[in-house]
Amino acid sequence: MKFIRNFMDKIEPDKKDSPFLHTLWDGFDTFLYVPAHVTKSGTHIKDGMDLKRTMIHVVLAMQLAFIIGMYNIGHQHYFALGLFPDFFAGFWEKLLYGVLQYLPMLIVVHVVGLGIEFIFATKKGHAIEEGFLVSAFLIPLVMPPAIPLWIVALATAFSVVIAKEAFGGTGMNIFNVALIARVFVFFAFPAEISGDEIWVSPDYSWLHQGFSGIASLFGSNDFFSMNAAAVAVDGYTGATPLSLAAKGGWENVQAYTVSIADQTYQPYSVSNLLLGNVPGSVGEGSKIAIILGALFLAVTRIGSWRIMLSMVLGAAFMSIVLNIISVQYGAELTNPFISVPWYYQFLMGSVFFAMAFMATDPVTASGTSTGKWVYGFLIGVVGIIIRVLNPAYPEGWMLAILLLNVFAPLIDHVVLQQNIKRRLRRVKV
Amino acid sequence: MSDLINIFVKAAFVENMVLIYFLGMCSYLAVSKTIKTAVGLGAAVIFVLAITAPVNWIIRETLLVEGALSWISPALADQSFEFLGLIIYIGVIAAMVQLVEMVIEKFSPALYMSLGIFLPLITVNCAILGGTLFMIAKEYSLAESTVFGIGSGFGFFLAIVALAAIREKIKYSAVPAPLRGLGMAFIITGLMGLAFMGLMGIKL
């Protein structure tokens, strides 16, 4: 591998003449090799776990959910056309379709976000911070697959500049960067991301056109199986499990059927919800893959298990309270959502995704151990409250986590003050 | 009872004076540098709102609304004195603030010094007058307006203490020089408002 080192040394730009290029070069160099930067004063290193490796661990943890999510985009596409209704039929076509649908968004987020990151790093005169690597994967995961790319670019720019660089860059932001990007789209372009209904479209992007064109050169005429019978469908609007539950409880979710090509399917059966065979954002889909990712984060101690556990406990607690209310006052209440059994609340929407990758963000969460329990528990409670009791929003985790981001420093402060008080009492005795 | 809880939650979270209506910005931004002073000012605002809302309600119902003074002479039966409302409400608020000021000066001179001019300025804090005017516009009863006053005071308290905690935390961040201080406070307040929008529309 010597030639890579030689190559990198040869193309190193001059630091004074072109600081921007040098920052860029430095960023890629530290990807390939351990940085040569040394601390000048005394150090306290207990592990070689630097920021870059931490971030890569998080990115690794989401890969399974990410791949299944991309595959699912392809599956929903073919499903809407009435082709390969079985989840695993037509595996490669679906995967390729998903990748082609998803790749442009991933590229746009990386180019916009890292571009801003590079400019700020050059201006401030430090090396590129790796924090955006995780955000760049998270932002596409929380966007609906069919969203226009310019909106994604705008949201990324907004969140990186306002929610991160203004606060001083990686590790100093108060609000979760990926969530600010999503909340920006949510309030600025509500039609694109409303969330109570979902647009599944067999329409295919310019990348697919290109691929189909190349394929047709080699004699394959319908690379994406866009045959005449299938194109008859222009796409369909489907209800999400959450909006169904808001209208008629869990029974309504189970009773929902879609009929495509003279076949009737039950899209929101328990197994489909667990596997991730539902239309929606890439990240929220497969509960199993997300839980595996969460376990990985908890075992490597990058995500706090305290936050994950207490968030699940908080959500379960609030759902059980609502269930009790619905049993007690069932007849007087008009909101059927509160009667949904608490364990089914976890199957719908993005509760596990929010738990694994959003709430555990070590920068925006509470820092103290007690604070983490409080923080996670309150996210669970507030998330269920917004989801169930707020008819304006179909899902609550995004806003619940942002709300608790606001209060995380306060929780830490109270915990610290309590600790100081407790220990001072010991001093007097 | 559930009605009162609903009003409290609504006033404190859903229709937060600071983060949804953006009222009372002046002292909110100026006194939120440290948590200690923020707690002091927040408590003062809760107290003033909790007193002024019901007192103003009583004054309005017994003296100002149309026909309230008909017991003096029948000629006043269709006479309304609501045009005097603003002056009287502010007067009541000023009196309450004076009271709070004296109490704080007596019991916590340090807090009195650190709050400085912003303590008497609660008088013209629009969150306080807003509390009274919203209460009138929403046609609350006496109990409801008391709960509303406490609720919106609590909302102000939460907002200012949360902002103070965040500002204490970012004191050590590498915030770009032009944004330090007030600039950052505005950005944080905007993002906090975004987060609080999640609670808008909640029906209990």
Q: Which tens digits make up the pLDDT trace of B150-164? A: 999 999 999 999 999
**Which token pair is B166?**
């965040």
The shortest CB-CB distance from A167 to any of B170, B192, B202 is to B170
Distance from C-alpha of A324 to C-alpha of A13, rounded to nearest angstrom: 66
B161 vs A: CB within 8 A = yes
Q: B188 — contact with chain A (CB < 8 Å)?
A: yes
What residues in A contact B14, CB-CB < 8 Å? none
Query: What mean pLDDT comes out for the span B104-127?
Result: 84
Give which of A374, A369, A365, A367 is closest to A402, Cα–Cα: A365
Residue B39 in contact with partner chain A when CB distance is under 8 A = no
More confident call, A42 vs B13? B13
Best of B34, B184, B202, B204 to substitute, by most chain A Cβ atoms within 10 angstroms, is B202
Per-residue pLDDT in tens (0 to 9) along chain A, 429 residues:
778 888 888 888 877 777 778 888 877 777 777 766 666 766 666 666 677 778 888 888 888 888 888 888 878 777 776 667 777 777 787 888 788 878 888 899 999 998 898 888 888 877 777 778 888 888 888 887 778 889 999 999 999 999 998 888 888 889 999 999 988 988 888 777 665 555 555 455 566 666 666 666 665 555 555 543 444 455 556 677 777 777 777 777 777 777 666 667 777 777 777 777 777 777 667 888 889 999 999 998 888 899 999 999 999 999 999 888 888 876 666 777 888 888 888 888 788 888 988 898 888 899 899 999 999 999 999 999 888 888 777 778 888 999 999 999 999 999 999 999 999 988 876
Residues 6+ apart with CB under 8 A from A407: A375, A378, B162, B165
| CA dihedral sign, ordered B3, B6, B10, B11 | positive
**What is the number of residues in chain B?**
204
CB of A93 closer than 8 Å to CB of A225: yes
Q: How far is B70 from chain A (nearest CA, A)?
A: 44
Residue type, B2: S
Query: How many Cβ atoms are within 10 Å of B102's Cβ, its own excluded?
Result: 11
Closest B-chain CA to A325 = B204
Flag if A399 and B168 touch (Cβ within 8 Å). Answer: no
Residue among B166, B198, B202 whose CB faces A174 most closely? B166
* Type of residue at A196: D
Interface membership of B162 toward A (CB under 8 Å): yes
**pLDDT tens across B43-66, in order?**
889 988 998 999 999 998 888 887
pLDDT reported for residue A409: 92
Subunit contact A403:B176, Cβ cutoff 8 A? no
Q: What is the pLDDT of residue A412?
A: 93
B residues 7-36 closer than 8 Å to A (CB): 35
B38 to chain A: nearest residue by CA?
A410
Cβ neighbours of residue A183 closer than 8 Å, sequence gap 6 or more: A398, A399, A402, B194, B195
**Beta-ladder partners of A422:** none
Two structure tokens written together for A253? 């979710």
Q: What is the pLDDT of residues B181-193, one digit of tens each?
A: 889 999 999 999 9
Q: How many CB pairs under 8 A join A and B?
A: 95
How far is residue A384's CA from residue A316's CA, in Å, rounded to a whole number?
A: 9
Angle CA A405–A411–A416, to nearest 5: 140
pLDDT, residue A195, reads 54
Average per-residue pLDDT in chain B?
Answer: 87
**Residue A324, both tokens:** 């009790």
B175, B179, B192: residue with CB nearest A406: B192
- Contact between A8 and A32 under an 8 Å Cβ cutoff? The reply is yes
Q: Do the Cβ atoms of B174 and A172 come within 8 Å?
A: yes
Amino acid at A49: M
Q: Who contacts A259 (Cβ-Cβ below 8 Å, separation ≥6)?
A: A265
Predicted confidence at residue B152, as pLDDT, reads 93
User: Residue A47: its pLDDT value, please?
Assistant: 64
Beta carbons of A168 and B192 less than 8 Å apart: no
Handedness of CA A353, A358, A362, A365 (dihedral sign): negative
SS (H, E, C) chain A: CHHHHHHHHHHCCCCCCCHHHHHHHHHHHHHHCCCCCCCCCCCCCCCCCCHHHHHHHHHHHCHHHHHHHHHHHHHHHHHHHCCCCCCCCCHHHHHHHHHHHHHHHHHHHHHHHHHHHHHHHHHHCCCCCCCHHHHHHHHHHCCCCCCCHHHHHHHHHHHHHHHHHHHCCCCCCCCCHHHHHHHHHHHHCHHHHCCCEEEECCCCCHHHHHHHHHHHHCCCCCCCCCCHHHHCCCCEEEECHHHHHHHHHHHHHHHCCEEECCEEECCCCHHHHHHCCCCCCCCCCCHHHHHHHHHHHHHCCCCCHHHHHHHHHHHHHHHHHHHHHHHHCCCCCCCHHHHCCHHHHCCCCCHHHHHHHHHCCCCCCCCCHHHHHHHHHHHHHHHHHHHHHCCCCCCCHHHHHHHHHHHHHHHHHHHHHHHHHHHHHHHHC
Residue among A325, A410, A414, A417 with most chain B CBs within 10 A, to mutate: A410
Does B197 contact A409 at a Cβ distance shorter than 8 Å?
no
Q: Which residues pair with A265 in a beta bridge?
A: A258
Contact B115, B129 (CB under 8 A): no
Which of the 8 DSSP states describes residue B108? -
Does residue B202 sit at the A interface (CB-CB below 8 Å)? yes
Contact between A409 and B192 using a beta-carbon 8 Å cutoff: no
pLDDT of residue A140: 87
Question: A145 near A71, Cβ under 8 Å?
Answer: no
Q: Closest residue of A to B158, CA-based? A: A407
What's the CA dihedral at A335, A338, A344, A349 to 10 degrees?
A: 60
Q: How far is CA A189 from CA A136, A184, A186, in A?
A: 20, 8, 6
Contact B203 A406 (CB under 8 A): no
- Nearest residue of chain A to residue B161 (CA atoms): A410
3-state secondary structure of B145: helix
Closest chain B residue to A386, measured at CA: B199
H/E segment holding residue B46: helix B35-59
pLDDT at A194: 60
CA–CA distance, B164 with A155 (Å, rounded to integer): 27
| Residue B77: count of CB within 10 angstroms of its CB | 13
Compare all CA atoms of chain A with the CA of B198 and give the residue at the minimum distance: A399
Cα angle vertex A364, ends A358, A365, to 5°?
A: 80
Which tokens is B169 given?
Answer: 């935390």
Q: What CA–CA distance (Å, rounded) separates A8 from B160?
A: 51
Spatial distance between the Cα atoms of A157 and A148, rounded to a whole number of angstroms: 15
Q: Rounded CA gap, A294 and A62, in Å?
A: 8
For residues A58 and A33, give the distance between their C-alpha atoms in angstroms, rounded to a whole number.
20
